[in-house]
Every structure is written in C-alpha cells, then in structure tokens.
C-alpha cells in the first residue's frame, strides 16, 4: 500500500485507488494514515468525525464508514488475494488498526529525511544537509490533505506538518547560505518574505543573502520594512538578533562575509550578540 498526505490524499493498493469519495470515510483513512500499525481508539475516531456533537447512531455510523473502507480495500485486492480487507483494516479491542508499515506513508519518509538532514546540519555537513532537506521538501505536492475536511485531530497533524515544512525550508536555506549560494537564494527569499511578512528568520536570511550579493541598500530596506510592519501591526520592535544583524550591515562588518560563531545554529542566530 502507498499513502500520501503531503498534498491531496492518495492511497493505492496494488495500483488501485482506495480513497473513498465521501468526506467522512476520507477523514477516517487520513487519520489511520497517521497511525500506521497502531490502534486508533474509537473515541479518537469519533472526536475527529464529530467533535463533541456525536449523533445518536455514532457507533453504528462509524462501523458503516469502516465497512466502506474495507470494501475499497477488498476491491483493490481482488478475488484472488490470499488475505482479506479485515486483516488490513483490523478490529481491535477499543478501536481499529491499519496494518501497514510506516514506510508506506509519505509523511514518515519525509520525517526521516528531515531528521537525516538535521543531523548533517548539526555536524557541519552542509552539502549533505541541503540535499536531505531538498529531498524532503520535494515530497510535498501541495498543502497537507488539501482535499480532506479536517476535524480536531487531523487539524493538529496538519498544523504540525505546516510548521515542519517551513522549518525545513529555513534549514535548507541556512545550509545553502553556508555553502555560499546566496546569489541563488535572493529571488526565492524575496518571495518567501512576501508570503511570510512577519517571519524574522526568513527576513534575516534575506538580509544576509542580499548583503553577500552586494546589495547592502536592499538588505537594509528589508529590515526597514519589517520593522515598520512589526511596529504598526504588533507594537513591537524587531528581535535583538535582527537588530544586531542590521547594525552589522550598517557597519559593513567583515564577520558578515564569513561563517562566524557556532556552525550548529541558524542564520537568524548566527550573528546574535
């Protein structure tokens, strides 16, 4: 079986899609995908489907949705399969379990690539870190479960993955900056700070990339616009890290042109006092 949640939900068995067309069974399949090989309690399934507004027939309806998933599995398996759908989506005491390996779900392969990249990043193996992070990010096909209605439980997973994707992108840019690829990053970072107008980490990366690309004035303008936005919208000044980076650019500090301080840190903290 192959399940993808980093984008639209897809799930195939022997090349045949098992994704239901109805929204509630789709939610169940997505939830099972985040818990491969582990029992998902009935209470968790009901919370995802109905939150605190359980219908009177909640248990019967849940069993109907599970039956629909099993029918999709059975169709994909075909009549000559040695097993049956109940062995793949099995009933256990207090819940159900999707009997597949974690490797069958893209999110687990993504998280392994991110972990490998982080280890390389912390060891100063910048080229390897950048490649691992790029491979992880390439697995995304769009917003997480963009075509699945999310209840309480799935919303938490979606938020977690959204944050993970952004952090992974930051670390990949950190590694590229260490490798001297600032010229290649300028346009990408311009787009990112436009889409994340209050994100100080991305703004710090943009300032460093621009400065190293010989665009000191533009780097200072990035800071000026961010500071104005933070003051106008939140009533706060930029962080001490960003203020120090701003002062270093104003002073044309030689430390900006080389990797200084601890290598096991982000660009945001690299020039912190």
The pLDDT value recorded for residue 260 is 46
Give yes or no for residue 83 having a pLDDT over 90. Answer: no
Please state the rounded mean pLDDT for residues 36-59.
93
Residue 81 has φ and ψ, to the nearest 5°, of -70, 140
pTM: 0.88
The pLDDT value recorded for residue 140 is 97
Residues in the chain: 273
Per-residue pLDDT tens over the stretch 3-18: 999 999 999 998 999 9
3-state secondary structure 1-52: CEEECCCCCEEEECCEECCCCCHHHHHHHHHHHCCCCCEEEHHHHHHHHHCC
Q: Whose structure tokens read 């997505």?
A: 30
Please state the rounded mean pLDDT for residues 122-129.
92
Per-residue pLDDT tens over the stretch 136-191: 999 999 999 999 999 999 999 999 999 999 999 999 999 999 998 999 999 999 99
CA distance 268 to 189: 14
The pLDDT value recorded for residue 20 is 93
CA distance 150 to 84: 29
The pLDDT value recorded for residue 6 is 97
Per-residue pLDDT tens over the stretch 206-220: 999 999 999 999 999
The pLDDT value recorded for residue 53 is 87
The pLDDT value recorded for residue 28 is 96
| Average model confidence (pLDDT) across the chain | 92
Query: Helix 182-195 crosses helix 200-212 at what angle (to 10 degrees)?
Result: 150
CA distance 76 to 17: 7
3-state secondary structure 48-101: HHHCCCCCCCHHHHHHHHHHHHHHHHHHHHCCCCCCCHHHHEEEECCEEEECCC
The pLDDT value recorded for residue 268 is 76
The pLDDT value recorded for residue 175 is 93
Q: For the chain, give the percent of residues with pLDDT over 70.
A: 95
The pLDDT value recorded for residue 273 is 52
Contacts of 32 (CB under 8 A, 6+ apart): 40, 89, 96, 98
* CB count in 10 Å sphere of residue 242: 22
User: Contact, 139 vs 117, CB < 8 A?
Assistant: no
């Amino acid at each position: 079986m192959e399940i993808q949640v980093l984008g639209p939900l897809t799930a195939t068995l022997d090349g045949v899609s098992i994704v239901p067309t109805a929204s509630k069974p789709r939610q169940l399949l997505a939830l099972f995908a985040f818990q491969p090989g582990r029992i998902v309690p009935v209470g968790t399934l009901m919370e995802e489907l109905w939150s605190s507004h359980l219908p009177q027939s909640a248990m019967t309806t849940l069993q109907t949705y599970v039956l629909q998933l099993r029918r999709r599995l059975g169709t994909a398996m075909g009549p000559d399969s040695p097993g049956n759908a109940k062995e793949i989506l099995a009933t256990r005491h207090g819940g159900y379990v999707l009997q597949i390996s974690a490797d069958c779900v893209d999110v687990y392969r993504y998280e392994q690539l991110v972990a490998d990249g982080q280890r390389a990043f912390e060891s100063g193996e910048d080229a390897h870190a950048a490649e691992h992070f790029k491979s992880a990010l390439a697995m995304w096909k769009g917003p997480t479960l963009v075509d699945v209605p999310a209840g309480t439980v799935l919303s938490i997973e979606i938020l977690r993955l959204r944050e993970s994707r952004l952090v992974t992108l930051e670390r990949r840019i950190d590694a590229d900056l260490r490798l001297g690829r600032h010229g290649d990053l300028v346009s990408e970072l311009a787009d990112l700070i436009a889409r994340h107008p209050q994100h100080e980490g991305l703004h710090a990366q943009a300032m460093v990339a621009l400065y190293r690309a010989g665009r000191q004035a533009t780097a200072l303008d990035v800071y000026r616009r961010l500071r104005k936005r933070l003051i106008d919208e939140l009533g706060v000044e930029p962080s001490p890290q960003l203020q120090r980076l701003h002062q270093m650019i104003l002073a044309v500090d030689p430390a900006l042109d080389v990797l200084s301080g601890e290598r096991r840190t982000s660009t945001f903290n690299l020039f912190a006092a």
